[in-house]
Amino acid sequence: MIIGITGENCAGKDTVAEYLLKKGFYYLSLSDIIRDELASEGKQVTRENLIAKGNELRAKHGPGVLAKMTIAKLDKGKNYAVISIRNPSEVEELAKTPNFTLLYLTAPAEVRFERMKARNRAGDPLTFEGFISVEKAELASSDKNRQQLAEVFKMSTKKITNDADLVLLHDNVDRMLGEISLEFKSDRPSWDDYFMGIAKMVATRSNCIKRHVAAVIVKDKRIVSTGYNGTPRGTRNCDQGGCPRCNSFADSGTKLEECFCSHAEENSICQAAYHGISIKESSIYITYSPCLVCTRMIINSGIKEVIYNENYPLGQSSIRLLQEAGVKARQMKLKE
């Protein structure tokens, strides 16, 4: 199996390649061919020199030359992760090998720029504007021998958005491997599936007669609090007539001032406070995206990420507010 890895700068290509190494893959980079050429000429291995020499080699020997030279290094019976794929002809050459898959890794430009700043590599752009300018130059070219990353991305058969933590990235890579080879297919659930599945079970404890919702707060892959929607502690359950709004079957979004039920997110946050548990920098798994009231609680409690299964009917403003506050929000549909 050969997994080609492409993507924008700082999207996580090397990180995925390193993870595949742990899975028994061998690592190859098309840029290694260029590095060898630069070394033989006594030139420094800089980003600018790599790009210039790569363009020179393609112009001299054809746009697929780096892939051809890399393929010559492959041994039968081994799995490979191949990075630095920057021209459509390189994809075409690699696609001639058996069991080739091209993975496109991406992430928002703002996230990738922060990663670039954190790595603090000499020669990297110092401003976001400079970062975007360099990226635009690499994405497209009218010269078939130069980098044409945008066209390479279009040729990918798998895509992963790497905008969260390593746990999610590794889960997504595992899922991809299972989709393309039975050798890597596992019935073991990902962490997302695991915690959202628990949230679905917690929802069965809800006593609300309108909708059963649950929340599970997770920190360091450990559940620290759970909650489901229903009337407050010590009062009559909603399904026993305890909430006037729910029992009058009011339309969604109306008569909210008459609702006695606490929401799942609210209850999970309150439970953590009740037991003196910090939820700062935690993640919350919710069976529905949060309302505005719960969104404000999530933000102010220090939760860093919201993962939800279904869209709450009035939840779009909440998602925008979470994003403005710097809280990651993503939908994760649990497989039935």
Could you tell me the strand order of the sheet in which 328-331 lies? 222-228, 214-219, 283-288, 305-310, 328-331
Q: What angle do CA 17, 21, 27 make, to 5 degrees?
A: 60
Which residues lie below 8 Å from residue 65, measured CB to CB, with a gap of 6+?
A: 57, 58
Compute the half-sphere exposure of residue 24: CA atoms within 13 Å on the CB side of its CA. Answer: 8
DSSP character for 262?
B
Q: Say how far apart CA 189 and CA 39 lie, in whole Å.
A: 46
The position carrying tokens 């707060």 is 217
Strand ranges for the chain from DSSP E: 2-7, 26-29, 80-83, 100-106, 158-161, 214-219, 222-228, 283-288, 305-310, 328-331
Q: What share of the chain is helix, strand, coil (3-state, %, to 5)?
A: 45, 15, 40
Calculate helix-pair angle for 316-324, 292-301, nearest 10 degrees. Answer: 20
Catalytically annotated residue among 93, 265, 266, 305: 265
265 is catalytic: yes
Measured in degrees and rounded to the nearest 5, phi and psi for residue 106 equal -145, 165
Q: Say how far apart CA 243 and CA 134 lie, in whole Å.
A: 58
* Residues identified as active-site: 265
